[in-house]
A = this chain, B = another copy of it.
Amino acid sequence: MFAIIGGSGYVGTAFQKLMSRDQQPFYVVSRENVDYFDKNALAAKLREVGATFVINAAGFTGRPNVDACELRKPECLAGNALLPGVIREVCEDLKLPWGHVSSGCIYTGTTSDGAGFTELDAPNFSFRQNNCSYYSGCKALGEEMLVGAEQCYVWRLRIPFDEHDSPRNYITKMMRYDRLLQATNSLSQLDEFVASCVACWTKRVDFGIYNLTNPGHVTTSDVVEMIGKFGLCKKQFSFFETEAEFMQLAASTPRSNCVLDSSKAIAAGLPLSPIGEALERAMKNWIPAASVS
């Protein structure tokens, strides 16, 4: 029995969809049915529902974007930095294996030789470097909570997308912003991400950190060209001249743009297709929001 904490969010819903499809029993732990910041209450709920594996898909993300976290610091800190520590203590007390949905946004750029960051590279976009958004700082503190954790996976998601037009989908975001920032990023196809998380446990992959991004990386221009090629929208995209202009005109806090190396996940047999293929598939099968009934 999987228990999904924060199961009704964007990522949690994708876990639910996968488990429903696979007829895998699961229980959604939400703020409505338990105060999961309370160790005793969370432990009692996990025991009550007979959880054998716990997924933490809860987290506080800013709406419409990361700038909003600067104005909601208590929720951001509690949801992203504190909660993983609380869940760790509960899972270790109950001797339950578990996984935490973390984020690749604790990195910026590439390694000094232009490669993607591996799980052995320390985050370089966190409070420790004093160069980050409040959101990224909190996500990095969340990972620090899990150093030395027992029976624990840390799954790094990075800019999720799929074929469903939605305000949380990277492809939708690209189409809706007035102007775009040119950048190079690794991305995570959402269904492959959650399937990889679940496969970690079902295949008994070694516990630890996994960069669950689709192999490779893309530039903003690459994505915009594909959007045009697949006819998702006819708009002429315009770009900020520089990151400085973007920061001045459109953003109140620095963005993480980074390349992650997912070869550890691939070597473990996790189902992540090359980023170009994954993006093409999402755009070929694109379901505009208006046509969702």
Contacts and interface: CB of A to CB of B under 8 A. Distances in A.
Given A128-B127, A128-B130, A77 B73 contact: no
A74 interface: yes
Nearest to A84: B74
B86 A141 contact: no
Interface string A1-23: 00000000000000000000000
Contacts of A82: 74, 77-78, 82
Contacts of A126: 127
A144 interface: yes
Interface in A68-113: 73-74, 77-78, 81-82, 85-86, 88-89
Contact of A74 (B35, B130, B145): B145
Contacts of A85: 73-74, 77
Nearest to A126: B127
Nearest to A134: B144
Interface residues of A, number: 22
A250 to B, nearest CB: 22
Contacts of A144: 73
A37 interface: yes
Given A82-B78, A82-B82, A73 B145 contact: yes
A129 interface: yes
Interface of A: 35, 37-38, 73-74, 77-78, 81-82, 85-86, 88-89, 126-130, 137, 141, 144-145
22 contacts: A73-B85, A73-B144, A73-B145, A74-B82, A74-B85, A74-B86, A74-B88, A74-B89, A77-B77, A77-B81, A77-B82, A77-B85, A77-B145, A78-B78, A78-B82, A82-B82, A126-B127, A127-B128, A127-B137, A127-B141, A128-B128, A128-B130
